[in-house]
Amino acid sequence: MSPNQPQNLRSLKNYQITPKDLEILATYFSIIHHSKGRIRLRASSKLKNAVEENSVDAQSLLECLKKIPAIKAIKFNKIVGSLTIEYDFNLLQPSFWEFSLKGERLEEISQTINTMLKDL
């Protein structure tokens, strides 16, 4: 790593997505619509309750998602309770979203994401 490399990029290389992080998606979101490179999720009422009880920090959750290199854009609509994620389907297989939202193959998915982070 170059000493001139920005600090945030260095810290990103050391960031690790855990299966537990991905489990949060399965706990609080369901798929509304999914096309290659774009997924729209519905936030459950459990998420609203968890945020109100301070057991989940929604901002931290969004920040965690934004750190995944395959994610191009995230838009959260508080009014309708939806989360739209645009992603690079060449880096992150569309099926990974389906699996993670079912709580399946979380170890494999987290390893794939962590490999991307190391390759920055």
Is 21 contained in some domain?
yes
For the chain (length 120 residues), average pLDDT per consecutive 10? Answer: 39 70 84 96 84 73 79 89 92 91 92 82
Is 119 contained in some domain?
no
Number of structural domains found in the chain: 1
Is 106 contained in some domain?
yes
pLDDT at residue 119, as a whole number: 73
pLDDT at residue 26, as a whole number: 84
Is 116 contained in some domain?
no
Q: Which domain holds residue 38?
A: 7-111
pLDDT at residue 10, as a whole number: 43
pLDDT at residue 31, as a whole number: 94
Is 2 contained in some domain?
no
Is 117 contained in some domain?
no
pLDDT at residue 3, as a whole number: 41
**What three-state secondary structure class fits 83?**
strand
Single-letter amino acid code for the residue at 28: Y
The whole model's pTM is what?
A: 0.77
pLDDT at residue 85, as a whole number: 95
Is 1 contained in some domain?
no
pLDDT at residue 30, as a whole number: 93
Is 54 contained in some domain?
yes
